């Protein structure tokens, strides 16, 4: 299976919950970095659905793969590791009394309508998927929590989007934040 995936130009990343396949969308380094951010975002939304107990493991796997593919395609020409804030609004996943179209498309693949998703997911969710960082906020006044953060590829103090907005230039530590039910 790995040989077949390699022939199709894909890489396999294993997490404790899902196996993600990703097509590189640029250089190998850019693709790998984007893969980690997308995997963090997809894993987070999938865990939210899983924690409801109303979506089967098979449905979650299809949803995860569909959302991963949709995000990779959507971000393909809007991923700028040397300027992490550039395109941030375009990459933002948003539910605010209107379902994000990428989440809605992935949910449709497993037979969930937007109305059903509104019952399963927070009514207000913002998920920022930027080079080197993925963060989220539930509710308009909720705290911003970091799901994934990595040092810039060249590790020369390049700004992440958050650091650029806050006026900091030192790279952040690499960590995953566990989100439990």
Q: Tell me how far apart the alpha carbons of residues 106 and 55 are, in angstroms, rounded to a whole number.
A: 13
Q: Looking at residue 160, what is its pLDDT?
A: 61
Ordered domains of the chain (ranges, CATH): 31-152 (3.90.640.90)
pLDDT, averaged per 10 consecutive residues of the chain (181 residues), comes to 36 36 38 82 97 96 97 94 92 95 96 93 96 95 94 62 55 45 44
Q: Looking at residue 73, what is its pLDDT?
A: 95
Q: Which residues contact 55 (CB under 8 A, 6 or more apart)?
A: 49, 63, 110, 112, 120
Q: Looking at residue 155, what is its pLDDT?
A: 57
Q: Tell me how far apart the alpha carbons of residues 159 and 2 are, in angstroms, rounded to a whole number.
A: 35
Q: Looking at residue 43, what is its pLDDT?
A: 97
Q: Looking at residue 56, what is its pLDDT?
A: 96
Q: Looking at residue 27, what is its pLDDT?
A: 39
Q: Looking at residue 33, what is its pLDDT?
A: 58
């Amino acid at each position: 299976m790995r040989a077949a995936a390699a022939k199709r130009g894909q890489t396999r990343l294993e997490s404790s919950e899902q196996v993600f396949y990703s097509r590189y969308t640029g250089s190998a380094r850019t693709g790998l970095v984007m893969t980690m951010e997308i995997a963090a975002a997809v894993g987070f939304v999938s865990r939210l659905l899983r924690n409801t107990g109303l979506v089967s493991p098979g449905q979650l796997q299809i949803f995860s793969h569909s959302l991963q593919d949709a995000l990779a395609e959507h971000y393909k020409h809007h991923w700028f590791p040397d300027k992490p804030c550039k395109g941030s609004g375009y990459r933002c996943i948003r539910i605010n009394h209107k379902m994000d179209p990428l989440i809605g498309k992935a949910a449709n693949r497993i037979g969930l309508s937007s109305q059903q998703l509104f019952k399963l997911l927070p009514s207000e969710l913002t998920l920022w998927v930027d080079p080197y960082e993925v963060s989220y906020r539930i509710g308009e006044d909720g705290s911003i929590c970091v799901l994934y953060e990595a040092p810039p590829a060249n590790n020369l103090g390049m700004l992440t989007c958050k650091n650029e907005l806050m006026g900091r230039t030192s790279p952040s530590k690499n960590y995953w934040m566990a989100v439990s039910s």
